[in-house]
C-alpha cells in the first residue's frame, strides 16, 4: 500500500466539501487543516449510519441497540489504540477535545485528595512548558500554578523556530513535577525531538505530557516510542468529527490519578456518603460519552490507515519542500519557522512586509477562495517572541496539492498588488 503512488486526486474525491462552489462561483482551496481538517464521506457516512440504525446509549443499556452502540463505541477505542500503538485499549480516554485532555492531566496535579507523590504539587514545585505552545497547553498550567502556588517555567524558541533546549538541565530541575510540550508546533511546523526532554525528566522524576494535536494527524505516532507519560490529541484535526479528543496515558498513571469529572459511568459504587470509581478509561469518562463522535473518529482512523500514515507524511513532506521553495520567491515574505523541510510538518506561517495578515487572508478568500488562517493561531506568546502580532498560516494535509500552493503564491502576489 505504501508503495503505491499517492493518488491525491482520488483522495480529494472522498472529501465532498473540496469540490464545493463558494458564493460568487469561486472554487475552494482549503489550506487551513491545522485549524481543523475536512471529513471524508467515509466518516460522515459512518456517523449517519450509526445515528439512523444503531443509536442508543452505551455501557448501561442491555438491549440490542445498546449492545450495538456499545460495540461501536468500544471498537472505536480499539481503533484509536491501534492507530497510536497504545499498549492497551484501556489507556485510551475519550475527552471532548485535546484541550480537555490537557486540562484533565493538569487537574490531576495538586489535588488535595490524591496521595500519589508524583501528582503532589505546591509552592516550590515546578511545571515546565515552552514558548511555542498552543494556548491549550499554556492556560491549563497557568491555572494549575495559580491554584497550587507552583512555579511555571518554559523553554524558549530559537530564531529558526526550534525549541531552545540549551538550558535543559537548569529548567527541568529536581523540583519539576511535570513537563508539557508540543510534539509539533501549530505555527512553526517544528517537530520537537522528545528524547532529551524525556531523558532529563526521568532523571529528576518528572512526568512528561505531549500535546500531539498537530502530530497524530500527520505522521505515524507510537505513544510508547515517544517515551512520554501522557499524550493528547483531537478528533477534528485528523479527519474525525468535533466533540471528541483523546488522552493516552500509561495505565499505571491513570490508576494513580484522581478522578476529574464526576458522574454516571465513571463510578463503581455510589452511596450518598462516598463513592468508588471504575477503572480507567471509564473513570475519566463521566456522563454519556461522545458515542457518535467516537464512531466517526474510528472511521477516520480506518480511513487514514487505509492510505497509510507513512504515505501521508511523505506526501506532506513533498508539499512542504515545494511550498518552502515557492514562498521563498515571494518578495517581502518572512517565514516564521524552519526554512528546511526537516523535522517540520506542512505548516507554513509567514508575514508579508507592510501588509497585515488580516488583509492577506481577506483578499485570498474574497478573490480566490483560498482559506488560510490569520492571527496568532492560539499561540500569542510565540508571536510575541518573534515580535509580531500575527501571521498568515497555510497548513496542508493529505488532500492538498502543489497546484494549491501555486494558487496561494499567485494569490499572495495579487495581495501585494492590491495593497502595494
Partner 1 sequence: MIAESMYQELILEHYKNPQGKGLREPYDVEVHHVNPTCGDEVTLRVRLAGDKVEDVSYEGQGCSISQAAASVLHELAAGSDVRESLDRVDAFTELMQGRGKVEPDEDVLGDAVAFAGVAKFPARVKCALLSWMAFKDAVARSQG
Ligand X SMILES: Cc1ncc(COP(=O)(O)O)c(C=O)c1O
Question: Contact positions toward partner 1, by CB under 8 A?
Answer: 23-24, 59-62, 64, 66-67, 70-71, 74, 268-269, 356-359, 362, 365-366, 375-376, 380, 388-390, 418-419
For 208-273, the three-class secondary structure string (H helix, E strand, C coil) is: EEEECCCCCCCCCCCHHHHCCCEEEEEHHHCCCCCCCEEEEECHHHHHHCCCCCCCCCCEEEECCC
Q: Which residues pair with 231 in a beta bridge?
A: 210, 248
Contacted by 189, from ligand X, its own copies, partner 1, none: CB < 5 to 8 Å by type: none
Does the annotation count 378 as an active-site position?
A: yes
CA angle 83, 85, 91 (to 5 degrees): 100
Q: How far apart are CA 53 and CA 56, in angstroms?
A: 9
Site for ligand X in 126-145 (CB under 6 A): 134, 136-137
Least distance (Å) between residue 30 CB and its own copies: 7
Residue numbers 329-388 binding ligand X by CB under 6 A: 378
Determine, following the binding rule CB under 6 A, whether residue 182 of this chain makes contact with ligand X: yes
- The partner in contact with residue 211, picked from its own copies, partner 1, ligand X, none with C-beta cut-offs of 5 to 8 angstroms by kind, is ligand X
Please identify, among the stretches 9-17, 94-102, 142-150, 223-231, the one whose residues bind ligand X according to the rule CB under 6 A. Answer: 94-102
Residues 6+ apart with CB under 8 A from 275: 262, 267, 268, 269
Closer CB to ligand X, 182 or 394, in the complex: 182
Distance CA 101, CA 265 (A): 18
Rounded-to-integer distance, Cα 225 and Cα 203, Å: 18
Separation between Cα atoms, residue 225 and residue 384, nearest integer Å: 33
Which of 100, 38, 53 minimizes the C-alpha distance to 236?
Answer: 38
Q: Which stretch binds its own copies (CB under 8 A): 37-45, 79-87, 191-199, 395-403?
A: 37-45
Query: Which is the catalytic residue, given 378, 379, 405, 415?
Result: 378
Query: Which of partner 1, ligand X, its own copies, none lies near 1, with the C-beta cut-off 5 to 8 A by kind?
Result: none
56 in helix, strand or coil?
A: coil
Q: Which is nearer to partner 1, 320 or 395 (CB)?
A: 395
The minimum distance between CB 297 and ligand X, in angstroms, equals 12
- In the stretch 55-94, what mask flags binding to its own copies with x, by CB under 8 A? xxx--xxxxxxx----------------------------
Q: Which residue has the cell 506532506?
A: 316
Per-residue interface string for the shown chain with its own copies, residues 324-363, x marking contact by CB under 8 A: ----------------------------------x--xx-
Question: Do you know the residue count of the chain?
Answer: 420
d(CA 192, CA 179): 13
* Closest distance to ligand X from the beta carbon of 248 (Å): 15
- Of 371, 404, 415, the closest CA to residue 22 belongs to 371
DSSP per position, 11-32: HHHT-GGGGPBPGGGPBPEE-B
Residue closer to partner 1 by CB (options 74, 173) is: 74
Closest distance of CB 292 from partner 1, Å: 18
CA–CA distances in Å: residue 232 to residues 46, 81, 92, 210, 244: 24, 13, 10, 6, 11
189 or 241: whose CB is closer to its own copies? 241
- Known catalytic residues are 378
Query: Which residues form the interface with ligand X (CB under 6 A)?
Result: 97-99, 134, 136-137, 182, 186, 211, 213-214, 234, 236, 245, 263-264, 287-288, 378
Amino acid at each position: 500500500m505504501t508503495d503505491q503512488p499517492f493518488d491525491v486526486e482520488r483522495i480529494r474525491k472522498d472529501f465532498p466539501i473540496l469540490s464545493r462552489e463558494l458564493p460568487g462561483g469561486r472554487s475552494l482551496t482549503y489550506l487551513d487543516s491545522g485549524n481543523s481538517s475536512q471529513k471524508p464521506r467515509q466518516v460522515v457516512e459512518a456517523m449517519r449510519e450509526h445515528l439512523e440504525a444503531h443509536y442508543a446509549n452505551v455501557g448501561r443499556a442491555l438491549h440490542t441497540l445498546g449492545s450495538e452502540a456499545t460495540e461501536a463505541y468500544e471498537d472505536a477505542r480499539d481503533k484509536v489504540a491501534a492507530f497510536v500503538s497504545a499498549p492497551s485499549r484501556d489507556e485510551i480516554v475519550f475527552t471532548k477535545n485535546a484541550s480537555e485532555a490537557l486540562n484533565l492531566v493538569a487537574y490531576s496535579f495538586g489535588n488535595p485528595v490524591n496521595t500519589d507523590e508524583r501528582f503532589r504539587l505546591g509552592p516550590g514545585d515546578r511545571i515546565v512548558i515552552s514558548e511555542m505552545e498552543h494556548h491549550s497547553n499554556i492556560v491549563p498550567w497557568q491555572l494549575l500554578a495559580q491554584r497550587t502556588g507552583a512555579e511555571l517555567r518554559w523553554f524558549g524558541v530559537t530564531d529558526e523556530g526550534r525549541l531552545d533546549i540549551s538550558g535543559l538541565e537548569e529548567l527541568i530541575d529536581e523540583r519539576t513535577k511535570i513537563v508539557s510540550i508540543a510534539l509539533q508546533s501549530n505555527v512553526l511546523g517544528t517537530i520537537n525531538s522528545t528524547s532529551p526532554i524525556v531523558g532529563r525528566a526521568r532523571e529528576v522524576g518528572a512526568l512528561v505530557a505531549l500535546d500531539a494535536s498537530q502530530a497524530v494527524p500527520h505522521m505515524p505516532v507510537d505513544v510508547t516510542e515517544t517515551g512520554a507519560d501522557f499524550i493528547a490529541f483531537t478528533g477534528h484535526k485528523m479527519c474525525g468529527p468535533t466533540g471528541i479528543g483523546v488522552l493516552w496515558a500509561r495505565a499505571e498513571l491513570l490508576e494513580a490519578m484522581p478522578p476529574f469529572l464526576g458522574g454516571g459511568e465513571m463510578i463503581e459504587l455510589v452511596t450518598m456518603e462516598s463513592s468508588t470509581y471504575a477503572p480507567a478509561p471509564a473513570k475519566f469518562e463521566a456522563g454519556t460519552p461522545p458515542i457518535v463522535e467516537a464512531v466517526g473518529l474510528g472511521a477516520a482512523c480506518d480511513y487514514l490507515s487505509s492510505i497509510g500514515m507513512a504515505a501521508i507524511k511523505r506526501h506532506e513532506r513533498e508539499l512542504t519542500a515545494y511550498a518552502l521553495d515557492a514562498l521563498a520567491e515571494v518578495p517581502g515574505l518572512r517565514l516564521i519557522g524552519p526554512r528546511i523541510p526537516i523535522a517540520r510538518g506542512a505548516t507554513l506561517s509567514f508575514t508579508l512586509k507592510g501588509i497585515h495578515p488580516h488583509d492577506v487572508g481577506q483578499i485570498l478568500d474574497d478573490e480566490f477562495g483560498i482559506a488560510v488562517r490569520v492571527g496568532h493561531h492560539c499561540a500569542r506568546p510565540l508571536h510575541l517572541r518573534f515580535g509580531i502580532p500575527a501571521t498568515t498560516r497555510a497548513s496542508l494535509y493529505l488532500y492538498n496539492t502543489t497546484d494549491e500552493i501555486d494558487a496561494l503564491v499567485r494569490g499572495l502576489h495579487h495581495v501585494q498588488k492590491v495593497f502595494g
